[in-house]
Structure 1
Amino acid sequence: MPKCWREIVLKSGRLAESEERGFTLVEIVVTIAILGLSLPPLLNAFTSGARGQALAENRTTALYLLKYKMGEVEAEGFPEVRTEEGEFDGNDQYTWSITVSDIESEELEGLRRITVSVFWQYRQKEKSMSLQALVSDRQIQQQQNQGNPENSNG
């Protein structure tokens, strides 16, 4: 083999050796340190997001159930004074309570407050959502309007 070829082979061999060099221990330690410092906050962000999504889903479900139960009570017209509690059919994760109470007022007669609450468990804590509405006895209003000609539209 000519001498010039040997020089080319040696030079190319040395180049190949330097290109195939691996990672140093310092590079590996620095990489592990960077991963160790950045992964916990990232994992915490993912778990916080998942918890927030679960709570939002629970609140949305509770809101729908709350509106449903309030609609049932309002459909009664002028509901009787009472306090009730129960579970929703097919969903034992959520419970409800209804309180219908008279409102004492000198200006208005036949006024009642309806309070509907929905309860559920989230991370070993009880969460709740409530809705209130006021209803009046239309029969009393009609009687007052008939007895007082100033309030009639005729």
Structure 2
Amino acid sequence: MQTRAWQRGFTLVEVLVALVVAMVVLLPLQSLFSLGLRAGALAENTSRALLLAESGLELYRARLHLVPGEDIEQIDSRYERRFKVQLWDFLPQPQDASLRPYLVTVSVLWSEGPRQRNITLSALMSGAAE
């Protein structure tokens, strides 16, 4: 039985060249894919930290009496939320004022691999005078 040229298949050199070309194309794609996954995880963690900071501000917004000071709480063993309340004395306040302005700052910290990341939000709020 005779073998025709088109029935012989590929030579070893052709197969090796095809593998090298495939590697040259696929390796950068794999790098891009892993970079995209890391960026997606960072965006998800940053969004969650922002939500935690916003909800922390809302916790203090709901309080009638604000007391200057600092507080720290751990959330999900991944995030740390820090609160800081300080009297905002930008303008002189009359002695008979029933409300006082306070600067409330909420910071959310978390680790992303070897890097420490944080988000900080601040708001002016009024609270009952002490």
Same fold (TM over 0.5): yes
Q: CA deviation at 1:20?
A: 1.1
Task: Note if 1:47 corresponds to 2:37.
Answer: no
Q: Tell me the alpha carbon deviations over residues 86-118 of structure 1, each in whole angstroms, 9 at most, x when there is no partner.
A: 113xx1111110011122223556321100011
Q: The residue matched to 1:23 in structure 2 has which SS? A: coil
Give the number of the structure whose alpha-carbon radius of gyration is greater.
1
Are the aligned partners of 1:100 and 1:115 in contact in 2 as well (CA < 8 Å)? yes
- Counting aligned pairs with the same residue, the percent is 27
* Aligned residue number for residue 17 of structure 2: 30
CA distance in 2, matches of 1:30, 1:64: 52
* Structure of greater relative contact order (alpha carbons < 8 Å, 6+ residues apart): 2
- Asked if residue 86 in structure 1 is aligned to residue 73 in structure 2, the reply is yes
The AA in structure 2 aligned to 1:103 is W
CA RMSD of aligned residues (A): 2.0
Paired residues, what number?
124
Counterparts of 2:93 and 2:23, CA distance in 1: 68
SS in 1 for 2:78: strand
Q: 1:80 to 1:138 in 2, by over 3 A?
A: closer
Give the strand-richer structure, 1 or 2.
2
Give the ranges of 4+ consecutive aligned residues of structure 1 lying more than 6 Å apart after TM superposition. Answer: none
Corresponding residue for 1:122?
Answer: 112
Per the normalisation by structure 1, the TM-score is 0.71
Higher helix share: 1
